[in-house]
Structure 1
Amino acid sequence: MLESYFPIFVVISIAIILAVVLLSIGKIIGPKRNNPEKLTPYESGMDPVGSTRTRVTVRFYLVAMIFIVFDIEVIFMYPWAVSFRELSGFYGLIPMVTFVLILLAGYYYILKKKALDWDEE
């Protein structure tokens, strides 16, 4: 049983050893010319202006969380769509319709709460 996993362990070991060796060689051989210009943050080729510690509005996080929820919806729908023919017709459709209706109810709630409305009130 364990013998069948031996090639996988060998490949993973070789990958780890190769990564460590190549990173070590780069660290040893690479130039070490640190100067203040090289240590500044890179902002699209322009000099940094202002503080990098600016506050971000909570709405960005809210939109990100909503995106993740609806993105996971697609992850659940894809296997269902692939195996739809193997499901027993109407009985395979009922759970997905229920799932989509629950998600639409959540979307309706988001719209009613105006979570996606960016206008200042």
Structure 2
Amino acid sequence: MDGYLVVAAVVLAGVALVAAAMGARRLLAPSDPVAGKLTTYESGVDPVGEGWQQGSVRYLVFTLLYVIFAVDAVYLFPWALVVRTDLGVASLVEMAIFIGVLVVALLHVWRRGLLRWW
């Protein structure tokens, strides 16, 4: 049960720190809620027209591709750092399969034309 007490103490300390920070902000931050400050704005520009506007989904595809390959790179760097030690042939084969899956995914995305900007 000692392990659970440590986890509970850490969680309670975290909640107490967040509550203390929010309380300090409430007490110390200046507050002057005038109508100009309460209006909605985007990058300092007053909103014009309706709030709904159709956007391009292509930007979402680029974002997802970036996240996928960036996360994969996070797995590659630690492996590359310890590859000099005795990882064995199994580790090398596993990483080759991992990189192979990435290459197949990249070829599929390229073949479908999702990497074109126009």
TM-score by length of 2: 0.72
Name 2:64's counterpart in structure 1: 65
Name 1:33's counterpart in structure 2: 32
Deviating runs (4+, > 6 A) in structure 1?
A: none
Measure the CA separation in 2 of the matches of 1:25 and 1:79.
Answer: 40
Structure with bigger helix share is 2
Greater Cα offset, 31-40 or 61-70 = 31-40
Measure the CA separation in 2 of the matches of 1:31 and 1:67.
Answer: 40
Measure the CA separation in 2 of the matches of 1:71 and 1:30.
Answer: 38
Give the number of equivalent residue pairs: 117
Alignment RMSD: 2.9
The answer to whether the aligner puts 1:87 opposite 2:87 as a matched pair is: yes
Name 1:54's counterpart in structure 2: 53
Indicate the structure whose relative CO is greater, using CA pairs within 8 Å and at least 6 residues apart.
2
**Unmatched tracts of structure 1, length 5 or more:** none
Measure the CA separation in 1 of the matches of 2:103 and 2:28.
Answer: 58
